[in-house]
Structure 1
Amino acid sequence: MQKRRPEITLTIIRSRRDTGSGLDPQGPDGGEIMKLSFTEKTSYGVGALGKDMACGIVNTFLMFYFTDVVGLAPAFLGVLFMVARIWDAVNDPMAGWLIDNTRSHIGKFRPWILAGTLSNTLVLIVLFSNPGIRGAGQYVFYSVIYILWGMTYTLEDISYWSMIPALADTESERNTISVIPRVFAAFGNIAVGSLGLALVSAFGKVAPGALPTQAQQSRGFFWLAVLIGVVFVITNTVTVLFVKEKVVVRNEKKFRFRDIFTTISQNDQLVVIVAAMTLYTLAINLTASLGLYWFKYDVGDERMYGTFYLTAGAQVLAMLVFPLFAKVLSRRRVFIVSALLPILGYVSLYIVGKTLGNNIAMMAIAGVVLFFGFGFSLVLTSVMLADAVDYGEWKLGSRSESIVFSMQTFMVKFAMAIAGLVTGVGLAAFGFVANAEQSAASLTGIRVLMFGVPIALLLASLAIYLKGYRLNGAYFQNIKDELEKRRAANA
């Protein structure tokens, strides 16, 4: 069957093209190659710093804040997180559709980066405000605000990551450009995870060496959210002001609402990416969600969590060396490494915790192995989704960066929700009692959720990837070559 010709026209601002022997010295218009400047690369990357700090405080501390500071029931929170993600299954692709249909003098991405940043900052501060509502009103208040947080974060996150295909058009460029925001994002996450509790204590005016009260933690988390909100606004304003789209593909007609679902469901490689990386991201989020509980109740010192989280710096190292690994190893082998290293890290961390107690040095070694693998996976997700944009254009005849990248936002938030559901329901099922000495059954449950479940998820993710992902090597290069011919014919 002959493939339907794409109804698109193409405007490229001096992009580069990969050939069999390396980089073409000329752009497709015969002019000199125009690369992203250092200022543009840095300005794009710095946006991820504030963005992931805003996501990091929710991903790392919200469950703990709700159960141990506000006093909400864990089982209820698990259900709330799940309901919010069911809504995201509709809301996130709708946001992608809205962005893809945007036409403005500053492009289609930057208006929504700015709008999403400002609105999400406001909601984030309210989320950690703890207004003192009690009874049913307390549950209603936090349910509404949490869902609003997810909706506003969607606008910024989808528009931000959707810019990658518009900034680079070749595999080598995407490997490089995808690393930069991931490095900044890792620094944001590490800063929140390692310094978060210390800042909470400082803002809450906790005496040195003392454990914070609930009131002190409440005040501390509020001002931490304010600080993160300020950083979020500043960093993303820099992105909006100094980064412009380089590769622009304009569809002749706007996406219809029903096109959202065909764009996703008929892009079989996107479906494989979503399935594999959702399971992988769920493993990461379970570690973030259960880590503080494990250190506080099993290891016996919650303050060690911040020290241990410094090993997440291994993610940065993994991201920086990713382009080198991608040159030496096929992307398929890099993915295998990214799945097997965290499994080794989980096993090592469990053994250390079981046999050596609070030996932070040995825990740190296990943490480096764990987070190094996570770092590879974060870059791979962005690169594979950028390739899925091209694949969707080739297969379906229309290009949709934002609808495709809405799946990244959905994966992250869905994994956060499932992690919250598993954590909340799991803790309740094993008899967890907040701020009390835990039973043997409760401690066993924390260990199973912290180590056993993530390992199983990583193995399942690897199996799905190996069986279904095809955008590698000559097969994908042929797709890219055919796209260039189509675009030239329609230019």
Structure 2
Amino acid sequence: MAQAAGKLSLSEKISYGFGDLASNFVWGMTTSYLLYFYTNVYGLAATAIGTLFLITRILDAVIDPVIGVMIDKTSSRFGKARPFILFLTIPFAIFSVLTFITPDWSEGGKLIYAYLTYLILGILYSGVNLPYGALMPMMTKDPEEKNQLSSFRIMGMAIGAIAVSALTNPLVKWIGGGNDRLGFPVTMGIFTVVAVVMFYVVFLKCKERFSESAEKTKEFNTLTSAKHMFRNQPWVMIALNSLFMFLRIGVVFGVLVYFVQYVLGQPEMIPLYLTLANVANFAGGALAPFVLRRLGKRNGSILALTGAVLLYGVLFFLESSPPFLYLVIFFIANIGIGINSPANFSMLADTVDYHEWKFGHRSEGMLYSAYSFATKFGIAVGGSVVAYALGFAGYDPDAVTPQATDMIRVLFYIGPILLTILQIGCLVLYKLDKEHKQIVQDLDLRTSSVKA
């Protein structure tokens, strides 16, 4: 009876959170350390790697809608999303390790190897992570349950990021004994074993209860679904909100190291700031269900993001204050941002219900793939903006000019504040919170009448 009402067990919610925990053990390692690995261990030029990251990330993002269509067209005894997790997790793990292998080839051969392994790794990541994201609205239609699933997902993401930050360097040094060409792939191998186990827990424990029938799956039309997607106004707002959110992430994490070192003059504090940003994300995810239950997903997010904007403005006047005070305000600001992340996942799941109510089909795969495209494009462009802006300001690590410092300050303050304000604007135009309960009731009535 509980399952019919869309209620999930605690073990299923925790198991769902394992998916992002697993993803961050692999993808978090890649995003945090691959640039260093390519330049300092594999011996590739930094400019070549910058171009590699931008090209492969955009190509990878373009492939996401294809994977989304494949999800929507899938009908199997395992469901629509779970088969991808079952069959692509092992290839994803293999290419995670291959990406950190260092064949002794020519400069051109090394670069080709890097392009191929990183591009395939990104495609396989999408092949596992997109179905994982699309799984949530298949598990429940209950908005409170979605909030809790999103919260467990964000906490899993944060724990994975913290674990990678804390464990990678010690493991690489201990395993490699000074040989990073050995330390990095073996460390990644350990992380992937953990990730594979966790993804299979997701497959085994998380059930699809509300996916479409095989008959409706056969009727799926890609072009019609794409047209309907852009007529799904709540989804458009959440996709734009996600784009601005991940643009901000790309800018903030791209410039944070430079800001702490050259503006605050505290290079020894860089690991602490990076860790605190992830811990704040975890804290925001843990607080989100309580905030969103009281205020709603939309209004709770608007309030949390508004608080973050104000606190980022306060930070500008605290640069010469005691470091502890600056750290505390930075931490609280990022808790506010962290509250929006699970709300965003939950609102995205609600747009799937709206899509079914308005157009007669769910299209989880396409809706999630287009969202994923926005997030990957946002991170790629956000990181590139930082690089290009520093280049425009004449940044030289051996002679940092006041112009470069001013640019770093602008990127750290103005970038996140403007992008967060754009997020708030998108959420103001999102009107689904009040309508969603009635939409779910209408869908249940349709289902009951069909069965009758």
Superposition TM-score, scaled by structure 1 size = 0.82
1:145 aligned counterpart, secondary structure: helix
> Is 1:61–1:289's contact at 8 Å kept on the other side of the alignment?
no
Who is 1:231 aligned against? 194
Who is 1:481 aligned against? 441
**RMSD, aligned CA:** 2.9
Query: How big is the shift at 1:455?
Result: 1.7
Who is 2:17 aligned against? 45
Q: For 1:185 and 1:393, locate their aligned partners in 2 and report how far apart those are by CA, in whole Å.
A: 29
Q: Is 1:167 equivalent to 2:139 in the alignment?
A: yes
Who is 2:385 aligned against? 422
2:333 aligned counterpart, secondary structure: helix
Query: How big is the shift at 1:145?
Result: 2.5
Query: How big is the shift at 1:313?
Result: 1.8
Shifted more, 366-375 versus 129-138: the winner is 129-138
Could you tell me which amino acid in structure 2 is paired with residue 382 of structure 1? F
> Is 1:277–1:381's contact at 8 Å kept on the other side of the alignment?
yes
Query: How big is the shift at 1:83?
Result: 3.1
Could you tell me which amino acid in structure 2 is paired with residue 131 of structure 1? P
Q: For 1:392 and 1:96, locate their aligned partners in 2 and report how far apart those are by CA, in whole Å.
A: 15
1:248 aligned counterpart, secondary structure: coil
Query: How big is the shift at 1:105?
Result: 1.8
> Is 2:24–2:160's contact at 8 Å kept on the other side of the alignment?
yes
2:211 aligned counterpart, secondary structure: strand
2:212 aligned counterpart, secondary structure: strand
Who is 1:284 aligned against? 249
Could you tell me which amino acid in structure 2 is paired with residue 332 of structure 1? R
Query: How big is the shift at 1:156?
Result: 0.8
Bigger helix share: 2
Going from structure 1 to structure 2, the CA distance change for 1:459 and 1:203 (only over 3 Å counts) comes to farther
Q: 1:256 aligns with which of 202, 205, 221?
A: 221
1:398 aligned counterpart, secondary structure: coil
1:472 aligned counterpart, secondary structure: helix
Q: 2:158 aligns with which of 186, 201, 204?
A: 186
Going from structure 1 to structure 2, the CA distance change for 1:51 and 1:285 (only over 3 Å counts) comes to same
Query: How big is the shift at 1:139?
Result: 3.3
Query: How big is the shift at 1:133?
Result: 4.3
The C-alpha deviation readout for 1:317-372, integer Å capped at 9, x for no partner, is 222222221222132221112322333453455555x425xx65334313321321
Q: For 1:203 and 1:442, locate their aligned partners in 2 and report how far apart those are by CA, in whole Å.
A: 38
Q: Is 1:462 equivalent to 2:424 in the alignment?
A: yes
Query: How big is the shift at 1:63?
Result: 3.9
> Is 2:246–2:376's contact at 8 Å kept on the other side of the alignment?
no
Gaps of 5+ in 1: 1-11, 18-34, 207-214
What pairs with 1:352-367 in structure 2 (closer than 5 Å)? 352=318, 354-356=319-321, 361-367=324-330
Shifted more, 78-87 versus 112-121: the winner is 78-87
The C-alpha deviation readout for 1:380-426, integer Å capped at 9, x for no partner, is 12101110101111111111222212234223322221123223323
> Is 1:80–1:143's contact at 8 Å kept on the other side of the alignment?
yes
2:77 aligned counterpart, secondary structure: coil
Aligned-residue identity in percent: 28
Who is 2:291 aligned against? 325
Q: For 1:412 and 1:129, locate their aligned partners in 2 and report how far apart those are by CA, in whole Å.
A: 28
Q: Aligned pair count?
A: 448
What pairs with 1:242-321 in structure 2 (closer than 5 Å)? 242-250=205-213, 251-254=215-218, 255-296=220-261, 298-299=263-264, 302-311=267-276, 312-321=278-287
What pairs with 1:57-68 in structure 2 (closer than 5 Å)? 57-67=29-39
What pairs with 1:193-232 in structure 2 (closer than 5 Å)? 193-203=165-175, 205=177, 216=180, 220-232=183-195
Q: Is 1:472 equivalent to 2:438 in the alignment?
A: no
Who is 1:29 aligned against? none
1:103 aligned counterpart, secondary structure: coil
> Is 1:308–1:360's contact at 8 Å kept on the other side of the alignment?
no
Could you tell me which amino acid in structure 2 is paired with residue 483 of structure 1? L
Q: For 2:244 and 2:192, locate their aligned partners in 1 and report how far apart those are by CA, in whole Å.
A: 29
Superposition TM-score, scaled by structure 2 size = 0.88
> Is 2:301–2:340's contact at 8 Å kept on the other side of the alignment?
yes
